[in-house]
């Protein structure tokens, strides 16, 4: 905790219970906390003392949170300011961000998420102060394009480092959109073959009647339209790496020919008679259960064992949610630059919505969501309104998961009902921009009943 003892935080809120709650919460985390009961009091304190972080309510009687924010930035432009409010609108959030706020958090907020935002804000200030922001971002880009610091991804990085210098064939398994080709490229770049070609072959994207000639090349006159000799993928990749994406889509006939190449390291062009030697490393990827395909007789067992010398399993995004902020920020920066937009960050509320989604399309789906959000966003921060992730999509994913749980291993009905209730309460608060009364009206229940449900679900952090 010693690193936090010198970090001073000023909490500004005209609601006593909220001030006391934040005082206790932040003090337990090891921060030095000062309190202001009004915007006017806060402005006086800002003139007398330096604060590493300012947390201020937006709606106050004398000087509101925006006024406090402007004062803080006038006195100390590098001040980190977080806005909180039960009545924040999208327009208010945009105004706060334009004035230099780090983030805004609608009430009621989740304690753990609030603590993380505070921690991230202070770390951001430290990185900016010492010019480490770019270095920190680069450190997250392991092996060039793979992003994440979760235990699952660290295991992948470890396997890449260990297998890259070898000649062993690698099979990468995982759902669509998890980044299997990025792993293959990372292995190639870390290998002794890195100066030679990396040739990616989409097994599902090449028509079956063409894949043999694409792999092995063909001789002039081999078939109608073959007016010249043509090199195949193996010719091009000689000395380098061949990556078979979705290897499970190959037909049995092509599987036999590929097995021979792997075993003998030779092949013959379509329409040719001369055997060619080839020196390539084989990396394959699949979103299928290839062992199951072997049992079913749709994939050759001998080919499977040749390809599956070392297996790397890519985790789905829903199992590495700690990497979600890193990935989202990376795509945000990428598309902001590509689309010439000045979108700098994702609001805590928008990130919370993303964190509740299971991403059936994995990292690729997240990339598409962020690209659309940047394209649609008119301010410099991604707000919930810009996310094209519909409630229908979220509810359908949760419903499908619940149905699978019920059919496979049963379900705890109380937990299931609590999850459904929590989903609707969070959605009502989202639609009501944090106003509990409006959220209760949307759900057709009394304010008393709404507060009771918040308490029961552990979502109650303050009184409106």
Q: Name, of 59-63, 295-299, 437-441, the range with top average pLDDT.
A: 295-299
| pLDDT tens, residue by residue, 151-177 | 899 899 989 989 999 999 999 999 999
Confidence of residue 393 (pLDDT cuts 50, 70, 90): low
Whether CATH 3.40.1000.10 fits 409-464 = no
Q: How far apart are CA 311 and CA 287, in angstroms?
A: 13
CB-based contact 362:176 (threshold 8 Å): yes
Sequence-distant (6+) residues with CB within 8 A of 211 are 203, 250, 251, 254
Angle (CA) 308-311-314 rounded to 5° is: 135
Q: Could you tell me the strand order of the sheet in which 32-36 lies?
A: 32-36, 8-12, 53-57, 80-85, 103-106
Q: How far apart are the first and last CA of the chain?
A: 32
316, pLDDT greater than 80 = yes
What value does the mean pLDDT take over residues 412-439? Answer: 78
Give Cα 331 distance to the centre of its chain: 9
User: What pLDDT does 322 receive?
Assistant: 86
Domain ranges of the chain: 8-131, 151-313, 409-464
The length of the chain is 464
Which residue do the tokens 């049992």 mark?
A: 295
DSSP character string of 121-167: HHHHHHHHHTT-HHHHHHHHEETTTEE--SHHHHHHHHHHHHHTTS-
Beta strands in 24-102 (DSSP E): 32-36, 53-57, 80-85
CATH fold for the domain made of 8-131:
Rossmann fold (3.40.50)
Sequence-distant (6+) residues with CB within 8 A of 4 are 29, 30, 31
Are domains 8-131 and 151-313 of this chain identical in fold? Answer: yes
Which residue do the tokens 């049963």 mark?
A: 410
Q: Which of 343, 359, 313, 340 is nearest to 160 (CA)?
A: 313
User: What pLDDT does 132 receive?
Assistant: 45
431, pLDDT greater than 80 = no
Rounded alpha-carbon distances, angstroms, from residue 354 to 22, 148, 366, 386, 415 = 26, 16, 9, 12, 22
| pLDDT tens, residue by residue, 273-292 | 888 999 999 999 999 999 99
Round the average pLDDT of the chain to a whole number and report it. Answer: 83
Confidence of residue 196 (pLDDT cuts 50, 70, 90): very high
CATH fold for the domain made of 151-313:
Rossmann fold (3.40.50)
DSSP designation for 270:
B
User: What pLDDT does 392 receive?
Assistant: 42
User: What pLDDT does 407 receive?
Assistant: 53
Rounded alpha-carbon distances, angstroms, from residue 266 to 177, 263, 277, 385 = 33, 8, 4, 57
Dihedral sign from CA coordinates of 446, 452, 458, 464: positive
Angle (CA) 47-52-57 rounded to 5° is: 75
CB-based contact 86:41 (threshold 8 Å): no
Give Cα 450 distance to the centre of its chain: 32
243, pLDDT greater than 90 = yes
Helix (H) or strand (E) holding 311: strand 310-313
pTM recorded for the entire structure: 0.62
Which of 31-45, 300-314, 316-330, 401-415 bottoms out in mean pLDDT, i.e. has the lowest?
401-415
User: What pLDDT does 351 receive?
Assistant: 84
Q: Which of 41, 37, 46, 35 is nearest to 70 (CA)?
A: 46
């Amino acid at each position: 905790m010693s690193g936090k003892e010198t970090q001073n935080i000023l909490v500004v809120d005209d609601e006593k219970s909220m001030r006391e709650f934040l005082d206790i919460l932040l003090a337990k985390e090891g921060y030095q906390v000062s309190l202001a009961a009004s915007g006017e009091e806060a402005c006086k304190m800002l003139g007398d003392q330096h604060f590493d972080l300012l947390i201020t309510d937006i709606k106050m009687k004398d000087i509101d949170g925006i006024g406090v924010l402007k004062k803080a930035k006038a006195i100390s432009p590098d001040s980190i300011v977080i806005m909180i409010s039960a009545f924040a609108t999208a327009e208010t959030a945009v105004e706060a961000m334009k004035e230099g706020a780090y983030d805004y958090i609608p009430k009621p907020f989740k304690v753990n998420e609030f603590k993380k935002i505070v921690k991230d804000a202070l770390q951001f200030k430290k990185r900016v102060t010492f010019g480490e922001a770019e270095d920190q971002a680069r450190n997250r880009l392991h092996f060039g394009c793979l992003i994440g610091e979760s235990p699952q991804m660290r295991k992948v990085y470890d396997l890449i480092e260990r297998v890259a210098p070898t000649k062993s064939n690698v099979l990468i398994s995982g759902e669509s959109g998890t980044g299997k080709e990025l792993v293959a490229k990372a292995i190639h770049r870390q290998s002794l073959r890195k100066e030679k070609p990396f040739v990616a072959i989409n097994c599902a994207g090449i028509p079956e009647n063409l894949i043999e000639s694409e792999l092995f090349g063909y001789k002039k006159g081999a078939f109608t339209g073959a007016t010249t000799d043509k090199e195949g993928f193996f010719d091009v990749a000689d000395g380098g790496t061949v990556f078979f994406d979705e290897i499970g889509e190959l037909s049995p006939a092509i599987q036999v020919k590929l097995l021979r190449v792997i075993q003998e390291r030779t092949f013959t062009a379509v329409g040719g008679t001369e055997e060619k030697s080839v020196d390539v490393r084989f990396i394959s990827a699949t979103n299928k259960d290839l062992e199951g395909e072997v049992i079913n007789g749709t994939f050759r067992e001998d080919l499977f064992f040749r390809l599956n010398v070392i297996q790397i399993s890519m985790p789905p995004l829903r199992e590495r949610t700690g990497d979600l902020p890193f990935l989202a920020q990376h795509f945000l920066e990428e598309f902001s630059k590509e689309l010439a937009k000045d979108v700098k960050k994702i609001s805590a509320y928008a990130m919370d919505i993303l964190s509740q989604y299971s991403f059936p399309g994995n990292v690729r789906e997240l990339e598409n969501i962020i690209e659309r959000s940047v394209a649609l966003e008119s301010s410099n921060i991604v707000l919930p309104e810009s996310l094209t992730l519909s409630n229908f999509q979220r509810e359908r994913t949760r419903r499908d998961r619940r149905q699978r749980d019920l059919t496979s291993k049963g379900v705890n009905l109380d937990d299931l009902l609590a999850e459904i209730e929590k989903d609707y309460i969070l959605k009502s608060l989202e639609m009501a921009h944090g106003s509990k009364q409006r959220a209760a009206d949307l759900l057709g229940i009394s304010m008393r009943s709404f507060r009771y449900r918040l308490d029961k679900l552990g979502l109650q952090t303050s009184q409106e």
